[in-house]
Structure 1
Amino acid sequence: MRIGLTGGIASGKSTIANMLVERGALLVDADQVAREVVLPGQPALEAIASTFGQAVLESDGSLNRKELGAIVFQDKSMLMKLEAITHPAIRASMQATIHTFAEQFPNRLIVADVPLLYETKQEELYDGIMVVYVPAELQKVRLMARNQVTEEEAIRRIALQMDIERKRALADFVIDNSGSLEDTKRQLDAFWESQCLL
């Protein structure tokens, strides 16, 4: 079984991903893949440099994230140009890894951790979608504490993603991560048993 794991920013998605791995799942992490596709020698990095100029490269040829961020986060059209380069590369790499896992471990759960799964319309790639849910107010509090940002900045970042209530409504499986760690573990155990993954 292949599931897409998503949720809102600061919902605890990484914690849930780790718990699933502890239970025997195989993880493909979109954030990790996103870092890999822009390493020196990768076609995506070459496309970024030709689109945004050599200023987005460090002297060693690696990506200057700060410089690139200064360009794309000030102009939505520039961000869309960047995403048009990176998203297909990330998706192709993830699907290749998932395919390999499925062939090598046909009875294992494969989890793809994709923060913007719904926003990038990837639902059809998976057998089911698991959403890690916390109410928006708790999301804001956790984000402020985790990233040391103001309330205004936290609200702005949360607003960049699809509303968490909408994600919850669309999900095949919901893990409510607003309670205790024990409560979250119980929900994951119930999911694991319901899918006959023991």
Structure 2
Amino acid sequence: MFIVGLTGGIGTGKSTASKFFLENDIPVVDADTMARKVVEPGRKAWKAIRKEFGESVFYDDGQLNREALGDLIFNDVDKRKKLNEITHPEIYKEMLKAAWNHLLDGHQFIVMDLPLLFESGRMLNFLHKIIVVTCEEDQQLERVIKRGQLSEERAKARINAQMPLETKCNQAHFVLDNTEDIDHLKKQVEQLIVTLRASNAHWKMRIYFIASMMLIFYLIIFLYSFLAF
């Protein structure tokens, strides 16, 4: 199995692209889903956020107020960095667990939806290919405003908190253009799936995995024999 990273910018259409992968029986491991999981009440990241940012970013029932936290960090680079230091290790730990489960299920490849792939850099070494979903700047701003019911100022703060789309596109293996209608994006995803399914990278990964497991097995046998002797 190999892993394909899917990224882009807020409002460019990553979630829509992810949906099309899922419709074609390609597993998608979503960082945003994991981000919600790791901040559930009582978990390690939840406790650290409460200690670092205080009660103002939580509801009365203990649930994280993501909107309040977002307003806080998008206007403060240091606070955003601190939040990422708290949450990212836990998020990526959950994602790798999910990837392992898909490997055991025998999938040829999976997609990891990673909004901050390039910004964090943590998962780059695990990815065989990288896909960036892009659109025009005015489209992105309009979509962010509409989706989050945000003012233009708040929407721009969220966009500017991420790496420029052009920079991301220059580092991608594939770029999905989401400037037109949804069918146009769907066709691009379907064509890309054909390309990825034609790859033999998963066999190389399986051979590497089997060889590694055999090496570990023989090492355990050797150590057991040595200690028994």
Same fold (TM over 0.5): yes
**TM bucket normalised to smaller:** 0.7 to 0.9
Instruction: Tell me the distance in 1 between the aligned counterparts of 2:51 and 2:156.
Output: 34
**What is the CA RMSD across the aligned residues, in angstroms?**
2.3
Gaps of 5+ in 1: none
Amino acid aligned to 2:3: R
| Aligned residue in 2 for 1:39 | 40
| Aligned residue in 1 for 2:162 | 161
| Aligned residue in 2 for 1:186 | 187
TM-fit CA distance, 1:78? 2.6
TM-fit CA distance, 1:69? 4.7
Higher-helix-fraction structure: 2
Structure whose CA Rg is larger = 2
Instruction: Tell me the distance in 2 between the aligned counterparts of 1:115 and 1:17.
Output: 12
Instruction: Tell me the distance in 1 between the aligned counterparts of 2:192 and 2:88.
Output: 30
Secondary structure, aligned partner of 1:130 = strand
| Aligned residue in 2 for 1:177 | 178
| Aligned residue in 1 for 2:104 | 103
For the 8 Å contact 2:169–2:175, the answer to whether it is kept is yes
Instruction: Tell me the distance in 2 between the aligned counterparts of 1:163 and 1:143.
Output: 15
For the 8 Å contact 2:7–2:132, the answer to whether it is kept is yes
After superposition, give the CA deviation of every residue in 1:65-111 in whole Å (9 maximum; x if it has no partner): 4554565455432332222111111111111111221122232x311
Instruction: Tell me the distance in 2 between the aligned counterparts of 1:44 and 1:67.
Output: 17
For the 8 Å contact 1:135–1:164, the answer to whether it is kept is no
| Aligned residue in 2 for 1:139 | 140
| Aligned residue in 2 for 1:129 | 130
Secondary structure, aligned partner of 1:119 = helix
For the 8 Å contact 1:118–1:167, the answer to whether it is kept is yes
TM-fit CA distance, 1:156? 2.9
Instruction: Name the TM-score, length of structure 2 as normaliser.
Output: 0.76
Instruction: Tell me the distance in 2 between the aligned counterparts of 1:69 and 1:141.
Output: 19
| Aligned residue in 2 for 1:112 | 112
Instruction: Tell me the distance in 2 between the aligned counterparts of 1:40 and 1:123.
Output: 30
1:12 aligns with 2:13: yes
Instruction: Tell me the distance in 2 between the aligned counterparts of 1:83 and 1:102.
Output: 27
C-alpha change, 1:164 and 1:75, in structure 2 (3 Å) is closer
C-alpha change, 1:16 and 1:78, in structure 2 (3 Å) is same
Larger mean Cα displacement after TM superposition, 74-83 or 126-135: 74-83
TM-fit CA distance, 1:152? 3.6
Amino acid aligned to 2:91: I
Amino acid aligned to 1:131: V
For the 8 Å contact 2:75–2:157, the answer to whether it is kept is no
Alignment of 1:74-113 (within 5 A): 75-107=76-108, 109-113=109-113
| Residues paired across the two proteins, number | 197
Secondary structure, aligned partner of 1:4 = strand
